Amino acid sequence: MAKNNQTTSKGMGLHARRVIAYIVLGIITFFCLFWFYILFINATRSNGELQAGFTLLPSTHLVENWKNLLAGTLPVWSGMFNSLIISTCSAALCVYFSTMTAYAIHAYEFKLKKFIYPFILLIMMIPTQVTALGFVQLVSKMKLENSFIPLIVPSVAVPVTFFYMKQYMESSLPLSLIEAARIDGSGEFHTFNVIVLPLMKPAIAVQAIFTFVSSWNNYFTPALILHDDKKKTLPILIAQLRAADWLKFDMGQVYVMIAFSIFPVIVVYLILSKHIVQGVALGSVKG
Protein backbone atom coordinates (compact mmCIF):
# COMPACT_ATOMS: atom_id res chain seq x y z
CA MET A 1 0.00 0.00 0.00
CA ALA A 2 2.80 2.40 0.91
CA LYS A 3 4.57 1.74 -2.38
CA ASN A 4 1.34 2.25 -4.29
CA ASN A 5 0.75 5.54 -2.48
CA GLN A 6 4.30 6.67 -3.27
CA THR A 7 3.88 5.74 -6.93
CA THR A 8 0.55 7.58 -7.09
CA SER A 9 1.99 10.67 -5.43
CA LYS A 10 4.99 10.66 -7.80
CA GLY A 11 2.65 10.36 -10.78
CA MET A 12 0.53 13.24 -9.54
CA GLY A 13 3.64 15.34 -8.92
CA LEU A 14 4.93 14.62 -12.41
CA HIS A 15 1.54 15.47 -13.89
CA ALA A 16 1.41 18.74 -11.94
CA ARG A 17 4.90 19.71 -13.16
CA ARG A 18 3.90 19.00 -16.73
CA VAL A 19 0.78 21.13 -16.38
CA ILE A 20 2.81 24.00 -14.95
CA ALA A 21 5.41 23.63 -17.73
CA TYR A 22 2.72 23.71 -20.43
CA ILE A 23 1.11 26.77 -18.86
CA VAL A 24 4.43 28.63 -18.69
CA LEU A 25 5.31 27.64 -22.27
CA GLY A 26 1.86 28.70 -23.42
CA ILE A 27 2.27 32.13 -21.82
CA ILE A 28 5.73 32.59 -23.33
CA THR A 29 4.47 31.51 -26.76
CA PHE A 30 1.58 33.94 -26.52
CA PHE A 31 3.85 36.90 -25.75
CA CYS A 32 6.26 35.87 -28.52
CA LEU A 33 3.55 35.64 -31.18
CA PHE A 34 1.34 38.49 -29.96
CA TRP A 35 3.62 41.18 -31.39
CA PHE A 36 3.59 39.53 -34.81
CA TYR A 37 -0.18 39.52 -34.66
CA ILE A 38 -0.20 43.24 -33.83
CA LEU A 39 2.22 43.88 -36.69
CA PHE A 40 -0.03 42.22 -39.26
CA ILE A 41 -3.13 43.89 -37.79
CA ASN A 42 -1.49 47.31 -38.07
CA ALA A 43 -0.49 46.54 -41.66
CA THR A 44 -4.20 46.41 -42.51
CA ARG A 45 -4.96 49.82 -41.00
CA SER A 46 -4.66 53.28 -42.52
CA ASN A 47 -2.46 56.02 -41.12
CA GLY A 48 -5.51 57.76 -39.64
CA GLU A 49 -6.70 54.61 -37.91
CA LEU A 50 -3.23 54.01 -36.48
CA GLN A 51 -3.16 57.55 -35.14
CA ALA A 52 -6.56 56.97 -33.52
CA GLY A 53 -5.30 54.24 -31.21
CA PHE A 54 -4.79 50.53 -30.60
CA THR A 55 -7.11 47.73 -31.70
CA LEU A 56 -7.01 43.95 -31.98
CA LEU A 57 -9.31 43.83 -35.01
CA PRO A 58 -7.99 43.98 -38.60
CA SER A 59 -9.04 46.73 -40.97
CA THR A 60 -9.49 46.87 -44.75
CA HIS A 61 -6.55 49.01 -45.91
CA LEU A 62 -3.92 46.31 -46.53
CA VAL A 63 -4.10 46.48 -50.33
CA GLU A 64 -4.26 50.28 -50.23
CA ASN A 65 -1.17 50.48 -48.03
CA TRP A 66 0.69 48.07 -50.33
CA LYS A 67 -0.21 50.05 -53.46
CA ASN A 68 0.82 53.31 -51.81
CA LEU A 69 4.12 51.72 -50.80
CA LEU A 70 4.88 50.53 -54.34
CA ALA A 71 3.78 53.87 -55.77
CA GLY A 72 6.37 55.68 -53.69
CA THR A 73 9.99 56.43 -54.55
CA LEU A 74 11.54 53.57 -52.58
CA PRO A 75 12.65 50.52 -54.65
CA VAL A 76 10.96 47.89 -52.46
CA TRP A 77 11.49 44.91 -54.77
CA SER A 78 15.14 45.82 -55.32
CA GLY A 79 15.60 46.03 -51.56
CA MET A 80 14.07 42.58 -51.14
CA PHE A 81 16.33 41.13 -53.85
CA ASN A 82 19.43 42.79 -52.38
CA SER A 83 18.65 41.51 -48.90
CA LEU A 84 18.08 37.99 -50.23
CA ILE A 85 21.41 37.94 -52.07
CA ILE A 86 23.41 39.27 -49.12
CA SER A 87 21.70 37.13 -46.47
CA THR A 88 21.76 33.88 -48.47
CA CYS A 89 25.39 34.21 -49.51
CA SER A 90 26.43 35.28 -46.01
CA ALA A 91 24.66 32.31 -44.42
CA ALA A 92 26.17 29.83 -46.90
CA LEU A 93 29.73 31.13 -46.54
CA CYS A 94 29.45 31.49 -42.78
CA VAL A 95 28.27 27.96 -42.00
CA TYR A 96 30.60 26.28 -44.50
CA PHE A 97 33.86 27.99 -43.53
CA SER A 98 33.03 28.12 -39.81
CA THR A 99 32.42 24.38 -39.91
CA MET A 100 35.69 23.92 -41.79
CA THR A 101 37.59 25.98 -39.21
CA ALA A 102 36.03 24.05 -36.35
CA TYR A 103 36.87 20.78 -38.09
CA ALA A 104 40.52 21.82 -38.50
CA ILE A 105 40.89 22.63 -34.80
CA HIS A 106 38.90 19.54 -33.78
CA ALA A 107 40.64 16.99 -36.01
CA TYR A 108 44.24 18.19 -36.30
CA GLU A 109 47.07 18.62 -33.84
CA PHE A 110 49.46 21.54 -34.37
CA LYS A 111 51.61 23.85 -32.26
CA LEU A 112 49.32 26.89 -32.10
CA LYS A 113 46.12 24.91 -31.53
CA LYS A 114 45.83 25.92 -27.85
CA PHE A 115 46.43 29.56 -28.79
CA ILE A 116 44.14 29.86 -31.81
CA TYR A 117 40.99 28.63 -30.08
CA PRO A 118 40.95 31.26 -27.27
CA PHE A 119 42.15 33.91 -29.74
CA ILE A 120 39.11 33.33 -31.96
CA LEU A 121 36.84 33.46 -28.92
CA LEU A 122 38.52 36.70 -27.83
CA ILE A 123 37.49 38.31 -31.13
CA MET A 124 33.85 37.66 -30.13
CA MET A 125 34.24 40.36 -27.48
CA ILE A 126 35.08 43.12 -29.98
CA PRO A 127 31.93 45.12 -30.94
CA THR A 128 31.30 45.83 -34.61
CA GLN A 129 31.14 49.56 -33.93
CA VAL A 130 34.78 49.58 -32.74
CA THR A 131 36.11 48.41 -36.10
CA ALA A 132 33.54 50.22 -38.26
CA LEU A 133 35.71 53.25 -39.09
CA GLY A 134 38.68 51.17 -40.18
CA PHE A 135 36.41 48.85 -42.12
CA VAL A 136 34.81 51.74 -44.04
CA GLN A 137 38.24 53.21 -44.83
CA LEU A 138 39.45 49.84 -46.10
CA VAL A 139 36.35 49.43 -48.27
CA SER A 140 36.80 52.93 -49.64
CA LYS A 141 40.47 52.34 -50.52
CA MET A 142 39.53 49.08 -52.25
CA LYS A 143 36.78 50.96 -54.15
CA LEU A 144 34.12 48.52 -53.00
CA GLU A 145 31.52 51.03 -51.87
CA ASN A 146 28.02 50.34 -53.21
CA SER A 147 29.06 46.71 -53.54
CA PHE A 148 27.75 43.59 -51.80
CA ILE A 149 31.24 42.10 -51.49
CA PRO A 150 32.16 43.85 -48.18
CA LEU A 151 28.87 42.64 -46.71
CA ILE A 152 29.26 39.01 -47.81
CA VAL A 153 32.97 38.12 -47.67
CA PRO A 154 33.50 38.98 -43.95
CA SER A 155 30.88 36.31 -43.16
CA VAL A 156 33.61 33.75 -43.83
CA ALA A 157 35.01 34.47 -40.35
CA VAL A 158 32.31 34.55 -37.67
CA PRO A 159 33.64 33.55 -34.22
CA VAL A 160 30.20 32.84 -32.71
CA THR A 161 29.32 30.34 -35.44
CA PHE A 162 32.76 28.72 -35.15
CA PHE A 163 32.33 28.31 -31.39
CA TYR A 164 28.94 26.64 -31.80
CA MET A 165 30.24 24.29 -34.50
CA LYS A 166 33.24 23.37 -32.36
CA GLN A 167 31.03 22.53 -29.39
CA TYR A 168 28.73 20.46 -31.60
CA MET A 169 31.65 18.52 -33.08
CA GLU A 170 32.98 17.60 -29.65
CA SER A 171 29.66 15.94 -28.84
CA SER A 172 28.81 14.32 -32.18
CA LEU A 173 31.94 13.84 -34.31
CA PRO A 174 34.29 11.12 -32.94
CA LEU A 175 37.88 11.31 -34.10
CA SER A 176 37.82 7.55 -34.71
CA LEU A 177 35.42 8.14 -37.61
CA ILE A 178 37.86 10.57 -39.23
CA GLU A 179 40.75 8.15 -38.72
CA ALA A 180 38.72 5.34 -40.29
CA ALA A 181 38.02 7.52 -43.33
CA ARG A 182 41.73 8.30 -43.69
CA ILE A 183 42.63 4.63 -43.45
CA ASP A 184 40.13 3.90 -46.22
CA GLY A 185 41.97 6.39 -48.43
CA SER A 186 39.58 9.31 -48.21
CA GLY A 187 41.14 12.70 -48.87
CA GLU A 188 40.76 15.53 -46.38
CA PHE A 189 38.34 17.60 -48.44
CA HIS A 190 36.38 14.47 -49.38
CA THR A 191 36.16 13.51 -45.71
CA PHE A 192 34.96 16.96 -44.75
CA ASN A 193 32.42 17.38 -47.54
CA VAL A 194 31.05 13.83 -47.65
CA ILE A 195 31.33 12.62 -44.05
CA VAL A 196 31.58 15.60 -41.71
CA LEU A 197 29.06 17.98 -43.28
CA PRO A 198 26.18 15.45 -43.32
CA LEU A 199 26.79 14.75 -39.63
CA MET A 200 26.71 18.48 -38.94
CA LYS A 201 23.36 19.09 -40.68
CA PRO A 202 21.42 19.99 -37.49
CA ALA A 203 24.07 22.49 -36.38
CA ILE A 204 24.41 23.87 -39.91
CA ALA A 205 20.64 24.38 -40.14
CA VAL A 206 20.52 26.23 -36.82
CA GLN A 207 23.43 28.49 -37.63
CA ALA A 208 22.16 29.09 -41.15
CA ILE A 209 18.93 30.44 -39.67
CA PHE A 210 20.73 32.61 -37.13
CA THR A 211 23.19 33.98 -39.72
CA PHE A 212 20.46 34.61 -42.29
CA VAL A 213 18.31 36.50 -39.79
CA SER A 214 21.28 38.47 -38.46
CA SER A 215 22.36 39.50 -41.96
CA TRP A 216 18.76 40.22 -42.99
CA ASN A 217 18.19 42.55 -40.03
CA ASN A 218 21.61 44.19 -40.25
CA TYR A 219 21.26 47.94 -40.70
CA PHE A 220 24.51 49.37 -39.36
CA THR A 221 27.09 48.00 -41.81
CA PRO A 222 25.03 48.20 -45.04
CA ALA A 223 24.12 51.81 -44.18
CA LEU A 224 27.85 52.64 -44.16
CA ILE A 225 28.62 50.87 -47.43
CA LEU A 226 25.56 51.20 -49.66
CA HIS A 227 24.62 54.66 -50.94
CA ASP A 228 22.71 53.96 -54.15
CA ASP A 229 18.98 53.40 -53.52
CA LYS A 230 18.93 50.45 -55.92
CA LYS A 231 21.66 48.72 -53.88
CA LYS A 232 20.17 49.32 -50.43
CA THR A 233 18.68 46.55 -48.31
CA LEU A 234 15.23 46.46 -46.74
CA PRO A 235 16.28 47.64 -43.23
CA ILE A 236 17.77 50.78 -44.79
CA LEU A 237 14.65 51.40 -46.87
CA ILE A 238 12.43 50.91 -43.81
CA ALA A 239 14.50 53.47 -41.92
CA GLN A 240 14.19 55.90 -44.85
CA LEU A 241 10.44 55.36 -44.96
CA ARG A 242 10.14 56.08 -41.24
CA ALA A 243 12.28 59.22 -41.61
CA ALA A 244 10.08 60.71 -44.33
CA ASP A 245 8.73 64.23 -44.05
CA TRP A 246 5.81 64.36 -41.61
CA LEU A 247 3.47 65.59 -44.35
CA LYS A 248 4.18 62.45 -46.38
CA PHE A 249 4.62 60.08 -43.44
CA ASP A 250 2.28 57.06 -43.56
CA MET A 251 2.54 54.60 -40.70
CA GLY A 252 0.39 52.10 -42.61
CA GLN A 253 3.07 51.86 -45.30
CA VAL A 254 5.74 51.35 -42.63
CA TYR A 255 3.86 48.42 -41.09
CA VAL A 256 3.20 46.87 -44.51
CA MET A 257 6.88 47.09 -45.41
CA ILE A 258 7.96 45.57 -42.10
CA ALA A 259 5.46 42.73 -42.53
CA PHE A 260 6.67 42.25 -46.10
CA SER A 261 10.29 42.12 -44.94
CA ILE A 262 9.81 39.27 -42.45
CA PHE A 263 8.20 36.80 -44.86
CA PRO A 264 11.53 35.47 -46.24
CA VAL A 265 12.75 34.94 -42.68
CA ILE A 266 9.61 32.93 -41.88
CA VAL A 267 10.11 30.83 -45.04
CA VAL A 268 13.74 30.07 -44.17
CA TYR A 269 12.73 29.17 -40.63
CA LEU A 270 9.98 26.80 -41.82
CA ILE A 271 12.40 25.06 -44.20
CA LEU A 272 15.10 24.48 -41.58
CA SER A 273 13.03 24.39 -38.37
CA LYS A 274 12.96 20.58 -38.07
CA HIS A 275 16.68 20.67 -37.27
CA ILE A 276 16.51 23.41 -34.62
CA VAL A 277 15.61 21.38 -31.54
CA GLN A 278 18.05 18.60 -32.36
CA GLY A 279 20.81 21.00 -33.25
CA VAL A 280 20.44 23.20 -30.17
CA ALA A 281 20.15 20.21 -27.83
CA LEU A 282 23.21 18.40 -29.15
CA GLY A 283 25.29 21.51 -29.74
CA SER A 284 24.90 22.63 -26.15
CA VAL A 285 26.19 19.33 -24.74
CA LYS A 286 29.90 18.90 -24.65
CA GLY A 287 30.95 15.30 -25.04
- Return the domain boundaries, the chain: 2-62, 65-283
Q: How does pLDDT run across 146-158, given as a tens digit for each residue? A: 899 999 998 888 8
Handedness of CA 163, 168, 171, 173 (dihedral sign): negative
Confidence of residue 277 (pLDDT cuts 50, 70, 90): low
What one-character-per-residue DSSP string does 34-98 give?
A: HHHHHHHHHHTS-HHHHHH---SS--S-HHHHHHHHHHSSS-HHHHHHHHHHHHHHHHHHHHHHH
Which CATH architecture fits 65-283? Answer: Orthogonal Bundle (1.10)
Q: How does pLDDT run across 4-29, given as a tens digit for each residue? A: 555 565 666 677 888 898 999 999 98
Q: How does pLDDT run across 24-48, given as a tens digit for each residue? A: 999 998 988 898 899 899 999 988 8
This prediction's pTM: 0.82
Q: How does pLDDT run across 139-195, given as a tens digit for each residue? A: 889 988 889 999 999 888 888 888 888 888 888 888 888 888 888 888 888 888 888
Mean pLDDT (whole number) for 223-243: 88
